[in-house]
């Protein structure tokens, strides 16, 4: 496992790289969205240190684009609800259809899943005492 110093250095470089990229557009988020369109997520993923979860969070909260954040809470919750095949980040993201969601809907959906996760998925056994305990979801 890498040392904490190396992790911090790498994350710092990734953040600095992201902000340098933003600076190329004079922090004009609308211009960035217009320039990359549907390819914005792919562009974000090409930036050093930006992975799928970070790209989706940036899409929703910085660039006001609809996306599904398939974070650990979401994968755990959907797995407990009976959705299979959630080994990797994109496995769940491909299954969730965000058609009809507004940006505000996507932000709220992500926030609700995270708040639920903080309360009911530590430990996972608490899930079964929640209002979703015993429910199944078909995607």
pLDDT of 51 > 80? The answer is yes
More confident residue, 11 or 100: 100
Residue whose C-alpha is closest to residue 25's, from 40, 10, 45: 40
Q: Omega into 133 within 30° of 0, i.e. cis?
A: no
Kindly indicate the confidence band of residue 6, based on its pLDDT and cuts at 50, 70 and 90.
Answer: low
Contact 55, 44 (CB under 8 A): yes
DSSP state string for 77-107 = HHHHTT----SSHHHHHTT---TT--HHHHH
pLDDT digits (tens, 9 = 90+) for 86-124: 989 999 999 999 999 999 999 999 999 999 999 999 876
Cβ atoms of 110 and 98 within 8 Å: the answer is no
pTM score of the predicted model: 0.87
Answer whether residue 13 shows pLDDT above 80: yes
CA distance 55 to 83: 23
């Amino acid at each position: 496992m890498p040392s904490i110093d190396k992790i911090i250095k790498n994350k710092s470089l990734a953040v600095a790289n992201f902000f340098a990229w933003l600076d190329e557009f004079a922090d004009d988020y609308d211009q960035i969205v217009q320039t990359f369109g549907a390819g914005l997520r792919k562009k974000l993923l090409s930036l050093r240190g930006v992975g799928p979860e970070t790209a989706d969070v940036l899409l929703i909260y910085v660039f006001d684009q609809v996306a599904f954040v398939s974070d650990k809470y979401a994968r755990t919750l959907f797995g407990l609800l009976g959705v299979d095949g959630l080994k990797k980040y994109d496995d769940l993201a491909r299954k969730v259809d965000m058609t009809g969601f507004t940006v505000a809907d996507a932000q709220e959906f992500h926030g609700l899943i995270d708040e639920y996760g903080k309360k009911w998925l530590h430990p996972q056994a608490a899930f079964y005492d929640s209002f979703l305990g015993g429910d199944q979801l078909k995607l």
